[in-house]
Structure 1
């Protein structure tokens, strides 16, 4: 009986730590905005129909959304690991205690996100990219993205994107906004453009280029 009590107490403590950790990580941004609590993309079932993401009701006139395709091939060898506290784990709370403990032990290896920063000439204005991030986060949209297709968000000099690299997937603008916010922290602050790549299926990438530039795709399938 005492052993069962101690096990229950330990599981409750572990759950509390997990909840605090997820809230801190999913609430962490560049310091300029609050990240959304969201889940990672999942594989889409059935046919995927391409449509432009929603525009927030009060979006600036120059903010536009659309669809596109990636055409600039990049090797995954150039990618660096995203810091663990910037990765959205997207874990749902488990009801079974043993499942909770198993995920606590493996949490660090659940998400495999990488990034690349690069120079751009001309360089998009950071302020324009921050408008893109804010508008994406305000879009409140759920989307299906066909394999090798992209969602595009643009404002003046800046072009944000989210692409499905290997198969059709489901995602939200909350998740996309978080990834763009991370690119802001990792790359834009250093005067560069950049891309985050999720290498776990379903694979995706998201980031910023100068307005109208080609979108990158990585050999992660």
Structure 2
């Protein structure tokens, strides 16, 4: 009984620490209002994200494919307050409210894991800042990935099931969350969205491959 209580207490401390980390980051770098990835039906070929003006010379963007299959068993539910609810870009109050209520129930998941070498926290922070500064709408074909690289850190967004529309605002928000949950603790990590519009976004070390999850 004492062991169960101790375990419950330690889990509670870990969750509280993650929440404090995320709240502290939100105060420094407010999350952008954005929309969740959605299915895109027109024919399209993925292109790398554009680089913002005055970006560092070592900041690079490209496209790739996910090559590492990871199990969904190790995924944990992302705290609801950090799931982008996807308010409609159109601001009609009734329609936006319906969209919010529908999408806030989305269940996103995440995992942190060790990497050797471990990306520099500063390099990953630079990546997040550059992605958020890009202010770009994007389309990603099924099984393709957008890749963002800066020195020791690499970020990605992969479409796991179908062609998706998304934005650098959405990707940057997820990267900011992962910095607090994983990178600041010396790990890399991934956030995963399930369903027909399945996707994953995260941090890895350059050259280590991009993860994929069976969520379709």
TM-score, normalisation: structure 2: 0.82
Structure 1 residue 133, shift from structure 2 partner: 0.2
Q: 2:83 aligns with which of 87, 90, 112?
A: 87
1:54 to 45, 50, 53: 50
Aligned partner of 1:151 in structure 2 is 146
Deviation for aligned residue 1:154:
0.4
- CA distance in 2: counterparts of 1:112 and 1:137, whole angstroms: 23
Q: Does 1:67 align with 2:32?
A: no
Aligned partner of 2:14 in structure 1 is: none
Deviations 1:112-134 (A, max 9, x none): 10001000111000100000000
Of 106, 114, 117, which residue of structure 1 is paired with 2:109? 114
Q: Residues 55 and 103 of structure 1: is their aligned pair in 2 closer, same or farther, counting only changes over 3 Å? A: closer
**Residues 1:34 and 2:23 aligned together:** no
Structure 1: gaps spanning 5 or more residues: 1-26
Can you give the 5+ residue segments of structure 2 that lack an aligned partner in the other structure?
1-22
TM superposition shift of 1:65: 0.2
The alpha carbon displacement at 1:102 in A equals 9.7
Structure 1 length as normaliser, TM-score? 0.81
Question: Which has the higher Rg, Structure 1 or Structure 2?
Answer: 1
Match of 2:122 in 1: 127
